[in-house]
Amino acid sequence: MRIDRSTLSRAVPAAILLLLLAVLVTGCETDTPQNTFAADGEVARDQRDLFYLAMWPAIFIMLFVELGLVVILLRFRRRRADEVPAQIHGNTRLELAWTIAPALLLLVLAVPMMSLLFKLGDDPGEDAFVVNVTGIRFVWKFDYPDVKGPDGQPLSSAPGDPLVFPAARKIRFNVTSLDVIHSFWIPRLGGKLDAVPQRDNRFWLKADEPGTWSGQCAEFCGLDHANMKLVAEALSEEDFDAWVEEKLAGIKTSSDAAGAISAPAR
């Protein structure tokens, strides 16, 4: 069986390119529950935009290298068995150029990267609503220290209950674990933060508008890691106040009923 090499060396990269285009054409921002590009919050949006900033030069370099390799293989393939080309050992200026140019490009990318890094690391301020997140194999538990009941105790939900918080406000999450390392992640609102036992990790997220999202544990934590999921619900300020009142009064609200994740029998 003779395989025509030059056809294949054209066909395969072409197929890969078509695949890529198909991906890009179908769109990255489809409305699936945990699509990091379907950003519904400021943090997710900023992180996605930073990714695009790096992605386009990366795609360009990838095409340059892949197509370049195909062109080189076709153009310089051996035509006579005895042909020996000129023995070029290098070109210092060229090599310096292709060392310095990528370094400069990367340095340029580093600027928005650092800027966003520090923005996300900044304290969200006094106005932020605080939620304490605890990972316990294999559920999430949320406590709301800003919300005090009539007895002065902060509001806490049962393990597996959904996360409920006000929309259009920065939410500060204090994340920890009672057992092994987990990772708290609501992809459409932003990146993740690990839940480490005896450690108080903090970050902030924000939902632009009311909505419901899914998330799940993103650090391997044992047998049922795949099922350690969470439901996050952002409510408008009035709806959120109403929810708080109902919780404090001990009434099971529709949020709890609809989205609760049952804790596995232990």
Partner 1 sequence: MATAIGRRRPSLAEALRSAREVAATGHGIWSWLATVDHKRIGILYGFSAFFFFILGGIEALLIRIQLITPESEFLNPDQYNRIFTMHGTTMVFLVVMPLSSAFFNLLVPLMIGARDVAFPRLNAFSYWTFLVGGIFLNASFFTGGNIFQGELGAPDAGWFGYSTLTSTKFSPGHGVDFWVFGLQILGVASLAGGFNFIVTILNMRAPGMSLFRMPLFVWMTLVTSFLIVFAMPVIAVALFELMFDRLFDANFFNPDAGGNPLLWQHMFWLFGHPEVYILILPAMGIVSEILPTFARKPLFGYPFVVFSGLAIGFMSWGVWVHHMYTTGLGTVANAAFGVSTIMIGVPTGVKIFNWMATLWGGSIRLSTALLFAVGFVGMFTIGGLSGITHSMVPSDYQQQDTYYVVAHFHYVLFGGAIFGLFGGAYYWFPKFTGRLMNEGLGQINFWTLLIGFNLTFFPMHMSGLLGMPRRIYTYSEGQGWDLWNMMATIGAFVIACSVSVFIVNLILSLTRGEKSGDDPWDARTLEWSLPSPVPHYNFKEIPQVHALDDFWHRKYTEDEAGRPIPVVAGGSGQDEEHEEHDGHDIHMPSPSYFPLIASLGFPFIATGLIYHTALVPVGAALLLVGLYGWAMEPATEESA
Binders in 8-27 for partner 1, by CB under 8 A: 8-9, 12, 15-16, 19, 23
Question: How many CA within 13 A on the CB side of residue 104?
Answer: 6
What sign for the dihedral angle of Cα 2, 6, 9, 11?
negative
**Selected binder of partner 1 within 197, 242, 245, 249 (CB under 8 A):** 197
Contact range with partner 1 by CB under 8 A, out of 159-167, 221-229, 235-243, 250-258: 221-229
Residues 25-64 that bind partner 1 (CB under 8 A): 28, 30, 32-37, 44, 46-48, 50-51, 53-55, 58, 61-62
**Distance (Å, rounded) from C-alpha 111 to C-alpha 45?**
18
Q: Are strands 211-216 and 229-235 parallel, antiparallel or unpaired?
A: antiparallel
CB of 126 to partner 1, least distance (A): 20
Residues 118-147 that bind partner 1 (CB under 8 A): 118, 120-121
Phi-psi region of 59 (alpha: psi -120 to 50; beta: other; left: phi over 0): alpha
Count of residues that bind partner 1 according to CB under 8 A: 98
**Distance (Å, rounded) from C-alpha 141 to C-alpha 209?**
23
Residues 165-194 that bind partner 1 (CB under 8 A): 175, 179-181, 183, 185, 187-188, 190-194
- For the record, the structure tokens of 143 come out as 């406590």
Residues 79-108 that bind partner 1 (CB under 8 A): 79, 83-92, 94-95, 98-99, 102-103, 106-107
**Distance (Å, rounded) from C-alpha 252 to C-alpha 85?**
81
Nearer to partner 1, 129 or 138 (CB): 138
